A and B are shown apart, each in its own frame.
Chain A
Amino acid sequence: MSRVKLQKLVLETFRGASNPVTLEFDPEKHITMFYGENGTGKSSIVDSFSFLSEQHCGSLRERSEADEDFITSITGTRDNLQVTLVTDKGKWSAKFKPRTKQIVVTPGTGIPPVRILRRKSILALVDTPSSERYKALQSYIEMPGIVKSEASLREAIKGAEREFDEDRRGLTQAQEALDKLWQQQKKPNASAEAWAEAEKARDVAKMEADLKEADGLVGAIEDLTIRKKDWSDAISEHKNLKDAQDKAEASLKDEESKSAGQSGDLVTLLEQAKTFVDANSPVSKCPVCEQDVEHERFHGVLSKRIAAMLNIAGLVKAVVEVKKKADAKEEAIASAKRKYATKIFLAATLVKASKLQCISMVAFPDGLLDLLSNDKTPADDLTINAEEWELSLATLKSNIDNESKNWRETVTLHGAIVRDLETLRRYELQTKARGGLCEFLKSTLKIVESERKAFVTRELDAISEEFDTLFKKIHPGEKLGGVKLSLKEKFQHSLSLAGDFHTQQGIAPQSLFSESHLDTLGLCVFLALAKKYRTEDTIVILDDVVTSVDHSHLSRFIDVLHDEAEHFGHIIITTHYGPWRELYRSGRSPGGQLHFIELAPWTLEKGIRHYKGKLSIDELREEIAKEPFAKQNVAAKAGILLESVLDFVNRSYEGRLPLKHTPGYTLRELTDGLPGKFLRLIRVVRITEKAAGDKVVLVPSEVLVEPIIVRIKGLAALRNQVGCHYTEIGALCSEAEVREFGEVALELAEALVCPVNGDFPTKDKSGAYWESRSGKVQLHPLRQPAN
């Protein structure tokens, strides 16, 4: 596919476009220059491309505290704002989605990408801290997915190392624990681990079983002792209660003997009668003798009699309570006895079944074990016979305790050894596995990091090589260059910029480069980036980027720009820098390749105004053809054109011009700059293409410069007399003389200006003559002869 051809840009209610404005591009030219003083609408045009292609408010977004609402023209409303771009590949319109700040482009795809360089951005590329420079270039080299994944990899390493450290600590602790046991055992075997392995292999199952049996026996004997005590305690408590009961009954008898007619039985009977009366109220007959009674009186009598025997009633109650407790304790004795008997049986059964050596060392009364371990033996017999057994049991327990103490120590030590050894082995395994994981992750990180850096370095090297090449084209023969972008060591988001300056190498350009050199460096960096990441439709916009570049550097920058133009869809230049415009207008730069649009001062009523910019040669040609003939205009324009052309010729041959305090030379000085002898050698060869049958042949034609210069010399006075000042002499000059002056100026300019690109022959690559960019115009010779 061929690269895009811009046709039209329409701004409606967009920034400075207070009236709709249509900017038509020359579809055959891929560079457009918008020239205008400040406040003519250049930024509006550039921002419209941001609005369309990047969907943001362009320079308004980059200015601090700028109100983006002013993207809408102050005379219009947001709903009416629209930017439209028409190209040979399609038409796109951008506007705000109603009642939102969202920019919508229709159609949503295919719009040519735009790369905009503003003066402010040049500083961000060159004269800025490394981190800011990285931000300026971030969009070209950023890889958010990789960076995020790398961060998670670092997190994984951190976690794995933490776990690895924990395992190592665990391993050390296990080793120390095992070592401690080994030392406690007086360091048998060659090492703690060898000892532990040997110990682990030792069979302690029999010992564990014996210990378990011994513990069971000891437990049974202890249970038996406890149950026996429970039983004894119950008997003792019952005896105490019986004593208390006897005492209470004695007190009651004593009281009864002191009170005639009163007794415990009587007070109990009266209380029962009163309870009956209360329960069957009202009572009309005595429940015993069935005589008629009056309830209230009957109840009163009962209460009175009970009250009279209050003391005895208390003693009766005490007797009843203590008797109740004694009866309950009797039941507890029986229960404790049963439990004790059960434990006797259990212990006897265990002792009888046990194979422990210590059992055989204790002598039991004959037949006693058989009796006690017999489940048919009555509980009374068990408890009675157990009395005989107690002494033997105490001896047995003591023997078991002594013997099991050694077993316990051995089994406990074995358990500790096995546990510590297993812990040690587990940590060894874990440490090995986690160590392997850490190594794996670190090796992976090395790869991820190195590939990321290698990519960025490759990209930066490629960009650096490109912009250094461009920079050297602008600054040939100057001992500076070798400028290179590189990632700063140890910083992920930091880009350093270093170059050579005479004897100094690898210095930051900001240290020694002039402001103008930094400007051109920034431009070259931008162009290199735009070129590397271009598509065939990429629109490059240079927004007022040149303000202080001198003539020769500007010329070379323009050459670079035209050389690079073929890589992009279109280059748009906006500038208020007069010398840039004049280089094109005067033919010193290839104005023929450029579409030149001039912008008039902006007004609220009319908005952005533009008109077609003209080259000086075209202006003079039009002026000569005009009716009526304007002598002053023709003389002025011819003079200006000639000054530019003769300046070029003198520079090409190092003409001898006087040193002056004031800038510029007169026509006379410029025509005298080259010696007549040499002038006669200067000739222009113009090559035109002509059809010859099926072929196109190149036909050279030659123009001698000297005769034209001679004619110019004869008419040079008209430059000032007619073109600049009011003089009577000027008024005396004829129209024919002025016309001839204009025509001879045109003749010289037309001889030298290339018909293809509109530039002068400034290239010396042939080594024998100067030639224009297209090679269609040659200026011979290349140099003045030495003599």
Chain B
Amino acid sequence: MKTPDQQVGEAIVKAMTDAGLLTSKGEKTLGAALTKGTQSASDWKFLYPELLMERAQKQNDSTKTP
């Protein structure tokens, strides 16, 4: 049986992903950090530049000619 931490951690990751607020890397690591309570203030902040970079990368990839 999953602990409340695990259940809520998974729900948060899903909601953030659905809202486009999480990178694919964040999807893999955030859940565990939330569950363990190791997600620090800096970790939260770093998610944003990572997200911007991933968005830029995706945009860049989509404009490349095949």
State the A residues within 8 Å of B (CB).
141-149, 152-153, 155-156, 159-160, 436-437, 440-441, 443-444, 447-448, 450-452, 454-455, 459
Residues of chain A with a CB closer than 8 A to B66's CB: none
- Taking a contact as CB atoms under 8 Å apart, the answer to whether B9 and A146 are in contact is yes
B29 interfacial by beta-carbon distance below 8 Å: no
Cα of A152 to Cα of B12 in the assembled complex, Å: 15
A-B contact pairs, 22 of them (CB 8 A): A143-B8, A144-B5, A145-B35, A145-B37, A146-B9, A146-B12, A146-B37, A147-B37, A148-B37, A152-B39, A153-B44, A156-B41, A156-B44, A159-B45, A436-B48, A437-B48, A440-B21, A444-B44, A447-B15, A447-B16, A451-B11, A451-B12
Cα of A437 to Cα of B52 in the assembled complex, Å: 10
CB < 8 Å neighbour of A145 from B11, B16, B36, B47: B36
Residues of chain A with a CB closer than 8 A to B42's CB: 156
Which 5 A-B residue pairs are closest in the complex by CB-CB distance?
A: A148-B37, A145-B37, A156-B41, A149-B39, A145-B5
CB distance from A631 to the nearest CB of B (A): 60
- Taking a contact as CB atoms under 8 Å apart, the answer to whether B48 and A447 are in contact is no
Cα of A81 to Cα of B33 in the assembled complex, Å: 42
- Taking a contact as CB atoms under 8 Å apart, the answer to whether B11 and A454 are in contact is yes
- Taking a contact as CB atoms under 8 Å apart, the answer to whether B15 and A440 are in contact is no
B3 interfacial by beta-carbon distance below 8 Å: yes
- Taking a contact as CB atoms under 8 Å apart, the answer to whether B8 and A152 are in contact is no
Residues of chain B with a CB closer than 8 A to A144's CB: 5, 37
Cα of A459 to Cα of B1 in the assembled complex, Å: 14
- Taking a contact as CB atoms under 8 Å apart, the answer to whether A451 and B8 are in contact is yes
Cα of A312 to Cα of B21 in the assembled complex, Å: 104
- Taking a contact as CB atoms under 8 Å apart, the answer to whether A143 and B41 are in contact is no
CB < 8 Å neighbour of A143 from B3, B40, B52: B3
Residues of chain B with a CB closer than 8 A to A454's CB: 11
Beyond known contacts A149-B34, A153-B44, A455-B8: 12 more, CB 8 A cutoff: A143-B5, A145-B9, A146-B12, A146-B37, A148-B37, A149-B39, A152-B43, A153-B41, A443-B19, A447-B21, A452-B8, A455-B11
Residues of chain A with a CB closer than 8 A to B9's CB: 145-146
- Taking a contact as CB atoms under 8 Å apart, the answer to whether B41 and A447 are in contact is no
CB distance from A282 to the nearest CB of B (A): 92
Residues of chain A with a CB closer than 8 A to B41's CB: 152-153, 155-156, 159
Cα of A144 to Cα of B8 in the assembled complex, Å: 11
- Contacting A at CB under 8 A, from B7-56, are 7-9, 11-12, 15-16, 19, 21, 33-45, 47-48, 51-52
Q: Name the residue among A142, A145, A443, A444 with the largest chain B CB count within 10 angstroms.
A: A145
Residues of chain B with a CB closer than 8 A to A452's CB: 8
- Taking a contact as CB atoms under 8 Å apart, the answer to whether B8 and A444 are in contact is no
Residues of chain A with a CB closer than 8 A to B19's CB: 443, 447
Residues of chain B with a CB closer than 8 A to A459's CB: 4
Minimal Cβ-Cβ distance residue in B for A439:
B48
Residues of chain B with a CB closer than 8 A to A160's CB: 45
Cα of A308 to Cα of B5 in the assembled complex, Å: 112
CB < 8 Å neighbour of A441 from B5, B7, B8, B45: B45
Cα of A148 to Cα of B41 in the assembled complex, Å: 10
Residues of chain A with a CB closer than 8 A to B3's CB: 143
Total interface residues on B, CB under 8 Å, equals 29
Residues of chain B with a CB closer than 8 A to A153's CB: 39, 41, 44
Q: A141-B4, A149-B34 given as contacts; is B15 within 8 A of A451 (CB)?
A: yes
CB distance from A446 to the nearest CB of B (A): 9
Cα of A437 to Cα of B38 in the assembled complex, Å: 20
Minimal Cβ-Cβ distance residue in A for B32:
A145
Cα of A332 to Cα of B52 in the assembled complex, Å: 72
Residues of chain B with a CB closer than 8 A to A143's CB: 3-5, 8
CB distance from B18 to the nearest CB of A (A): 9
Minimal Cβ-Cβ distance residue in B for A452:
B8
Residues of chain A with a CB closer than 8 A to B33's CB: 149
Residues of chain B with a CB closer than 8 A to A443's CB: 19, 21
Cα of A444 to Cα of B40 in the assembled complex, Å: 14
- Taking a contact as CB atoms under 8 Å apart, the answer to whether A146 and B8 are in contact is yes
CB distance from B29 to the nearest CB of A (A): 12
Residues of chain B with a CB closer than 8 A to A159's CB: 41, 45
Cα of A448 to Cα of B22 in the assembled complex, Å: 13
- Taking a contact as CB atoms under 8 Å apart, the answer to whether A440 and B51 are in contact is yes
Minimal Cβ-Cβ distance residue in B for A155:
B41
CB distance from B37 to the nearest CB of A (A): 3
CB distance from B57 to the nearest CB of A (A): 17
Residues of chain B with a CB closer than 8 A to A448's CB: 12
Residues of chain A with a CB closer than 8 A to B35's CB: 145-146
Minimal Cβ-Cβ distance residue in A for B4:
A143
Cα of A202 to Cα of B40 in the assembled complex, Å: 48
Residues of chain A with a CB closer than 8 A to B7's CB: 455
- Taking a contact as CB atoms under 8 Å apart, the answer to whether B5 and A440 are in contact is no
Q: Name the residue among A153, A156, A452 with the largest chain B CB count within 10 angstroms.
A: A156
- Taking a contact as CB atoms under 8 Å apart, the answer to whether B16 and A444 are in contact is yes
CB distance from A187 to the nearest CB of B (A): 38
CB distance from A149 to the nearest CB of B (A): 4
Residues of chain A with a CB closer than 8 A to B52's CB: 436
Minimal Cβ-Cβ distance residue in A for B36:
A145
Residues of chain A with a CB closer than 8 A to B40's CB: 152
Cα of A444 to Cα of B15 in the assembled complex, Å: 9
Residues of chain B with a CB closer than 8 A to A149's CB: 33-34, 37-39
Q: A152-B39, A452-B8 given as contacts; is B34 within 8 A of A145 (CB)?
A: yes
- Taking a contact as CB atoms under 8 Å apart, the answer to whether B11 and A441 are in contact is no
Residues of chain A with a CB closer than 8 A to B12's CB: 146, 447-448, 451
Minimal Cβ-Cβ distance residue in B for A440:
B48
CB distance from B61 to the nearest CB of A (A): 22
Cα of A459 to Cα of B9 in the assembled complex, Å: 15
- Taking a contact as CB atoms under 8 Å apart, the answer to whether B34 and A146 are in contact is yes
Cα of A462 to Cα of B26 in the assembled complex, Å: 31
Residues of chain B with a CB closer than 8 A to A436's CB: 48, 52
Cα of A450 to Cα of B34 in the assembled complex, Å: 15
Cα of A147 to Cα of B35 in the assembled complex, Å: 9
Residues of chain A with a CB closer than 8 A to B45's CB: 156, 159-160, 437, 441
CB distance from A272 to the nearest CB of B (A): 87
